[in-house]
Structure 1
Amino acid sequence: MENTTTPAVTPSSVGIRYGLITGVIVTIISFLQLALISDPETPVRWLSAVVMIVAIVMAHKQFKKLNNGFMSYGQGLGIGTILTVVAGVISSIFSYVYMTFIDPSYMGRVMDLTRAKMETQGLDEAQIDQAMAMTSKFSSGPLTIVFGILGAAIVGFIISLIVSAFTKNTRPEFE
């Protein structure tokens, strides 16, 4: 007789699977926002964060379903962090491709809007020029990808800290 046991589910396998799905969804949202909405300060930008939170909760549910209903806090934290990093990689690469090849004038329009907002806030020209120079350094080229991934990792870790506290279900010590 052949042994047909299924391999144990791991936090990384669930995190990667849901990260790929979430990355595609966030990329679609990002594309729609970049292509259709001229102001980057729109409330639609928060939709990606909501998608991330929902994806983390769903990934935790799936992990617990495949793990007899149990998930430790650390496993939940790992799943959420891996999920957001994978989604961040996909989304950051898309943003770089979009701003570099599809619509190279996008960052110029954003910089113009930012300059106008700073002027209405009463900042002087030297402060505005300094802020615009710093922004252009960090929002162009491959640094867009690096900061996108770092941002996703940090935000994902923080979200996972909170969500995992609610979704964990540790295995009893003496079972």
Structure 2
Amino acid sequence: MEQEITPRQVGLKYGLITGLGYVAYSLVLFLTHAYTNNSLGWLSNLILIAGLVFACREFRAGFYNTMTLKQGISVGFWVVLLSTIISAIFTYIYIEFDKELLEAMREQAMFDLEKQKLPEEQLEQAMKMMDWFLSPEFLAGSTLIGGIIVGMIVAVIVAAVMKKDPENF
């Protein structure tokens, strides 16, 4: 008797692979100081899209060559959840131990604020807030929340494109 493949099984497998892809990509960005380039940050979405497409393809192939939208979203949920948790944990650990990275982020934020020619008191207030926004806890939390929200939007789109409903007999 064959055991059917489940969305969770496939999703967790590709969530781990996608999460490790995020870690490798983030590590390259951090080590090369390319994290300040916003256009490179959006490239991480390609890692997610690839993970979701491969996960949906594997699920469909192992499930009688069909996948409903609901099943595709379920696969996507597990991919997004696990990969985002891995990414958030890595972000927290890396930023917690690399104080130079936080200092470089603060300097960039200060430079950006000074370009706006804010009054001195507003500049000081903005920098106090920036210290909170640039804490490892906030950055990891925003990675987690933002990753799940954006990831689920992408997962629904990929599931809608990849779905293949069963043939009616």
TM-score, length-scaled by structure 1 = 0.86
Matched ranges for 1:1-12 at <5 A: 5-12=1-8
**Alignment partner of 2:140 out of 136, 140, 145:** 145
Measure, in 1, the Cα distance between the counterparts of 2:134 and 2:162. Answer: 36
SS state at 1:105 partner: helix
Equivalent of residue 86 in structure 2, options 83, 90, 108: 90
Picking from 31, 55, 69, the partner of 1:35 is: 31
> Does structure 2 retain, via aligned residues, the 8 Å contact 1:98–1:104?
no
Letter paired with 1:59: A
Does 2:74 match 1:78?
Answer: yes
CA gap 1:113/1:69 in 2 versus in 1, 3 angstroms: same
CA deviations over 1:45-68 (Å, ceiling 9, x no partner): 122111101111111111100011
Kept after mapping to 2: 8 A contact 1:39/1:110: no
Query: 1:4-34, CA deviations, whole angstroms, 9 ceiling, x for partnerless residues?
Result: x232111111111001001111101100100
Partner of 2:163: 168
> CA separation of 1:41/1:129 partners in 2, compared to 1, >3 Å: closer, same or farther?
farther
Amino acid at match of 1:34: F
1:39 Cα deviation from its structure 2 partner: 4.9
Q: Counterpart of 2:95?
A: 99
Gaps spanning 5+ residues in structure 1: where?
none
Are 2:124 and 1:129 equivalent residues in the alignment? yes
TM-score, normalization by structure 2:
0.89
Partner residue of 2:52 out of 50, 53, 56: 56
SS in structure 2 at match of 1:171: coil
Amino acid at match of 1:86: L
Aligned pair partner of 1:66 in 62, 66, 74: 62
Are the structure 2 counterparts of residues 15 and 39 from structure 1 closer, same or farther at C-alpha, using a change threshold of 3 Å? closer
Q: Which secondary structure does the structure 2 equivalent of 1:63 belong to? A: helix
Cα distance in 2 for residues equivalent to 1:171 and 1:130: 59
The question of whether the paired residues in 2 share the 8 Å contact of 1:26 and 1:91 is answered with yes
3-state SS of paired residue (1:18): helix
Q: 1:166 to 1:115 in 2, by over 3 A?
A: same
The 1:80/1:128 distance shift into structure 2, 3 A limit, reads farther
Change (3 A) 1:39 1:117: farther
Give the structure with the higher percent helix: 2
